Amino acid sequence: MLFEPMQAGEIRLNNRVVQGPMGRLRADTQGVPGELMVEFYRQRAGMGLLITDGTFPTTAGKVQYKQPGLETAEQAAGWKQVVSAVHAEGGSIVVQLMHAGWNTHREITGQPTQSPSALPHEGYTHNALGERIAYEVPEELDQDGLESIREGFALAAQRAVQEAGFDGVELHGANGYLLHQFLSHNTNLRSDAYGGSPEKRAAFPLEVAAAVVEKVGPGRVGMRISPALPIQGVVETQEVVETYDALVDGLNELGIAYLSMEYAPDTEQLVRHIRERFQGAFFLNDASKMGTTEFNGLEDAQRMLELADAAVVARAALANPDLVARWQQGVELQQPDWDHIYTGEARGYTDYPKAT
């Protein structure tokens, strides 16, 4: 089943192995993808579906230097070269749109850091010199800020599909980034229409999804979620089921193509619940090895398919551009070059050989 094709809305998958989004910071300083990124994605076009690096829809949502964006025509033109290379190899690719929320700094964006609520955020990021800078307390988003973010996501999605030619867009509602911050009771302390109850916490992510659907159609939209997995200061321990029920019900009304969920062994019951409730294609990513140097192998992917329609893997795809062929033929996998994950060069990015 892992190597069988499937359809997710308007998005065609040649097999059920999905490359998960991985921020490798290989764009230029203006957020424009170049030849290095073209080659990386071209090499991995044998995956059933490629999900790109988390890509900022607006500069205010940029998480790090050399992260790719989709705010300008130049960025879209860079991505078009990536998409064309993947399509020439017979592959499918969607762009993940990600707003950092409180996981950035004005030294990176040149703009105030914003989040659902003005709460201190522990941890740090890096400036242009690679030096650590502590996170700052974000400003609480006002109505103008909310509207700007909705519009930014929508225009970036339109640019992705109409200018760059992507097969679709994935909204990043996971891993502690902005849309996830709205969903969590510990990062969303609002008392207006966007906080205070499960339905209200889900409201803004759903408004963003609706704005994107209006631009590109529901069959080209997916969303990534990571319920009850604590990460980057976002912790979900209260009303988790109720919040994600509200989110999923809203996504069902929009009719989006797929939902991609990260899970760990202790959230498997929640996986079953959400899959039963969601009406589109359901992707799954086993995040239990996060924070280690291990990665998901063939048996892990096959186990994900017991709970989902497609298996999402990341590190295995990074180190093995021919991952699907290796799994089909029983060839041993290569290990990632951990010392060169974020160095901005070809080493540890496009220099992994295919099996002979």
Q: pLDDT per residue over 149-199, tens digit each?
A: 999 999 999 999 999 999 999 999 999 999 999 999 999 999 999 999 999
What are the tokens at 206? 């759903």
Q: What is the 3-state secondary structure (H, E, C) of the chain?
A: CCCCCEEECCEEECCCEEECCCCCCCCCCCCCCCHHHHHHHHHCCCCCEEEEEEEECCHHHCCCCCCCECCCHHHHHHHHHHHHHHHHCCCCEEEEECCCCCCCCHHHHCCCCEECCCCCCCCEEECCCCCEEECCCCEECCHHHHHHHHHHHHHHHHHHHHHHCCCEEEEEECCCCHHHHHHCCCCCCCCCCCCCCHHHHHHHHHHHHHHHHHHHCHHHEEEEECCCCCECCECCCCCHHHHHHHHHHHHHHHCCCEEEEEECHHHHHHHHHHHHHCCCEEEEEECCCCCCCCCCCHHHHHHHCCCCCEEEECHHHHHCCCHHHHHHHCCCCCCCCHHHCCCCCCCCCCCCCCCC
**pLDDT value of residue 101:** 97
pLDDT value of position 107:
93
Write down the catalytic residue from 41, 65, 177, 352: 177
What pLDDT score was predicted for residue 19?
97
pLDDT at 290: 78
Report pLDDT for 344. Answer: 78
Domain boundaries, the chain: 6-340
**Residue of 20, 23, 37, 42 whose CA lies nearest to 75:** 37
Query: How far is it, in rounded angstroms, from Cα 99 to Cα 347?
Result: 28
Residue 246: what are its φ and ψ, rounded to 5°? -65, -40
Q: Which residues of the chain have pLDDT under 70?
A: none
pLDDT tens figures, 47-58: 999 999 999 999
Distance CA 2, CA 136 (A): 44
Q: What is the pLDDT of residue 210?
A: 98
Q: How far apart are CA 52 and CA 18, in angstroms?
A: 11
Question: Residue 65: its pLDDT value, please?
Answer: 87
Query: What is the structure's pLDDT at 339?
Result: 87
**pTM of model > 0.95:** yes
Query: With contact defined as beta carbons under 8 Å apart, do 86 and 93 qualify?
Result: yes
pLDDT value, residue 341 = 80
177 is catalytic: yes
pLDDT at 67: 94
Look at the domain 6-340 and name its fold.
TIM Barrel (3.20.20)
Q: Report d(CA 297, CA 313) in Å as an integer.
A: 9
Helix (H) or strand (E) holding 273: helix 268-277
